[in-house]
Amino acid sequence: MFGTRQTGKSTLIRSIIPPESLVFDFSNPSQRLQFATNPGRFIDMYRALPSSESPRFIFLDEVQSVPELFDAVQFLYDEEKRSAPDERRTRFILCGSSARRLRRTGTNLLPGRSILHHLYPLTSIEYQPFIPAGFPVETLYGSRSLVPIFKDEPRLVSPFPKRTLEDRMIYGELPAMAIPYAERGTNADPRRELLRSYVAAYIEEELHRETQIREWGPFLRFLSLAAYESGGIMNFAGIAKESGLSAPTVKAHYQLLEDMFLGFMVPAFSGSSRKTALSTPRFFFIDLGLRNAAAGLSLTPDTLLANPGPLFEQWVGIELYKRLSYLGDSQLSYFRTAGGAEVDFIIEQSGILYPIEVKWTENPTTKDARHLESFLQDHRDRTSHGYIVCRAPYPLAVSNTVTAIPWWLL
């Protein structure tokens, strides 16, 4: 299981494995050094374990710090497969917050022997439903999300309390940000410092440790610029000029952010016949709270009020990416032409297109649907309906082919 730090990977795994499971935490320097210098020690330790009639669980946390252990796990897995029945074989659970070192060293990722999962910051379905005053509850549970994670089940009740859209756009979706704090004045909420500390202690320090970046000052400028430009079409030359780096170096730094699960790219839609359609991908930070902190923005409502539209569009894009990644059977892209025609997001599932526009409005009109209508006309063989994600209090039929959806029903 991979995912950026503080998404709850370790907490989740520790909550579901048996209490007698063996746990190795390689964020602990002593454990990391013990096995990094002698990975064969892990095999010796395993062979010294008493026999068991039931499956044994071994959890290796932050395993990217000791990539040599992947070979040891494969060796033990293959050895046990030849000698023990399936119901008695050991279950290895490997967890990491970076693929950078694994890719750089060509680490064996156990092909054919492992199932890969990712854990992202929270999605809307993991919160208690946000129900506006006066909205009938039976309508909510009779409605289907545009991208339901559980296709055949209603929304689940979650221990995470409901949050306003504004709060989620400012502080993001890391589990620690979902903890309710009493409003005791402007400086009472500790989440601002938690996010700033995350950027300083994890993003900067861990990136420094994981990489061999020599130009650290220019890299920090790149990080701030990449966060500020999150959600936009990637501009290697522009960021290179502002950060003092070469365009190839900027491109490599973006790849580094992906390897650390701090961001992702949304490619341009490739199914358009328009010659003026753009082909450069868009880059998004995986979490708006991290993005706001890395960009050096004030973590207050002022951040939102200054320019809410682009921030809301990022929030929707991140939510769609997380859900589609969990589903694993859909593609997310965007469409834009040099002439200004655009569709913010396009979901492609089983050959069908679902174009989506994002509008920071409570009253969407036919004007907000004009780009969707044009896209529907150009691609009528693959799509027949478009959607506007907005702040309307309930779903609205904007036209015969476009429906407006409240953000909380996404």
Note whether 279 and 139 are same-domain residues: yes
The region of weakest confidence among 106-110, 180-184, 251-255, 355-359 is 180-184
Is residue 38 pLDDT above 80, yes or no? yes
Note whether 243 and 290 are same-domain residues: yes
- Give a yes or no: residue 13 inside a domain: yes
The phi, psi pair for 80, rounded to 5°, reads: -70, -30
Q: What is the mean pLDDT of residues 137-145?
A: 54
Pairing of β 22-25 and β 57-61:
parallel
Note whether 90 and 131 are same-domain residues: no
> Which sign does the torsion angle of CA 65, 226, 389, 175 carry?
positive
> pLDDT digits over 99-125, tens only?
877 776 556 667 677 888 999 999 998
Burial of 129 (0-12, 13-18, 19+ CB in 10 A): middle
**What's residue 134's pLDDT?**
66
pTM of the model: 0.91
Please give the Cα distance from 145 to 57 (Å, whole number): 36
Residue type, 328: G
- Give a yes or no: residue 112 inside a domain: no
- Give a yes or no: residue 27 inside a domain: yes
Note whether 333 and 396 are same-domain residues: yes
Q: How many domains does the chain have?
A: 2
Please give the Cα distance from 36 to 38 (Å, whole number): 6
Is residue 51 pLDDT above 90, yes or no? no
Please give the Cα distance from 171 to 164 (Å, whole number): 11
The phi, psi pair for 92, rounded to 5°, reads: -95, 130
Note whether 235 and 358 are same-domain residues: yes
Q: What domain range includes position 77? A: 9-104
Note whether 82 and 146 are same-domain residues: no
Pairing of β 396-397 and β 402-406:
antiparallel
Average pLDDT of the chain is 87
Please give the Cα distance from 169 to 179 (Å, whole number): 15
How many Cβ atoms sit within 10 Å of the Cβ of residue 250? 25
Note whether 136 and 48 are same-domain residues: no
Note whether 301 and 341 are same-domain residues: yes
> Which sign does the torsion angle of CA 63, 65, 67, 72 carry?
negative
β strands within 222-376, DSSP E: 263-266, 282-285, 330-336, 342-349, 352-358
Note whether 29 and 85 are same-domain residues: yes
Per-position DSSP letters for 52-99, written without gaps between them: -SS--EEEEETGGGSTTHHHHHHHHHHHHHHHS-GGGS-EEEE-BS--
**What's residue 184's pLDDT?**
43
> pLDDT digits over 188-206, tens only?
678 988 999 888 887 777 7
**What's residue 89's pLDDT?**
82
User: CB-hemisphere CA count at 13 Å for 307?
Assistant: 9
